[in-house]
Amino acid sequence: MRYVALLRGLNVGGANKVSMAKLKSAFEGAGVTEVRTYINSGNVIFSTNIEDRGSLTATLLEATRAHTGVETDIQLRDVDELAAIVEVIPDHWNNDDSMKCDVVFLQPDVDRPGILEDLGPRPGIEDALYVPGAVVWRVNRTDATRSRLTRIVGTPLYARVTVRNCNTARRLLELMRK
């Protein structure tokens, strides 16, 4: 099975600094194969025969902690799950100079369609789409400070998500399919 591991909070704002070489080594030490990292924000693509996702996640968490000293959360997505998320992102939604588009990956305990009501995107300011496993959020850069997505920072919900921009999510899927 091919997975991407999305590690939360690595190399963000100078905190939890971890080299991708060290992260790759941690995953290889945990017994997974074909390990590849993508950019410096905790994205690890790998293959494994381990079928129990809970056991796999626990093994990867322990290996990461042992090799890096960092406590973090890990979300795993297989190719089909990531494809289902990426495919709902409208083609014209991008992360560029005029638009900010993020994929908010949800831990299972907060993954539900009603999450959009909790987040409360502002009509006319931003758009949000729910897909099992994630919320895709889009706002024009000129309105980014008015986005309700920024309101979740520091909340219990924020501790249960990890965010990647849509360009990164699309690229991770491409790399997983190679």
SS (H, E, C) 90-142: CCCCCCCCCEEEEEEEECHHHCCCCHHHHHCCCCCCEEEEEECCEEEEEEEHH
Please, what's the b/e burial string for 167-177 (b: 16 or more CB within 10 A of its CB; e: otherwise)?
bbbbbbbeebe
Q: Where are the domains of the chain?
A: 2-72, 81-177
Selecting from 3.30.70.1280, 3.40.50.1440, 1.10.260.30, 3.40.50.300, what CATH number does the domain 2-72 have? Answer: 3.30.70.1280
* 81-177 matches 2-72 in CATH topology: yes
> What pLDDT is attached to residue 15?
64
Q: pTM for this one? A: 0.94
> What pLDDT is attached to residue 18?
83
Low-confidence ranges of the chain (pLDDT < 70): 11-15
Fold of 81-177: Alpha-Beta Plaits (3.30.70)
Alpha-carbon span 159 to 71, nearest angstrom? 13
> What pLDDT is attached to residue 71?
86
Alpha-carbon span 175 to 122, nearest angstrom? 34
> What pLDDT is attached to residue 12?
64
> What pLDDT is attached to residue 118?
87
Alpha-carbon span 166 to 131, nearest angstrom? 14
> What pLDDT is attached to residue 1?
96
Phi, psi angle pair for 174, to nearest 5°: -55, -45
36 close to 46: Cβ distance less than 8 angstroms: yes
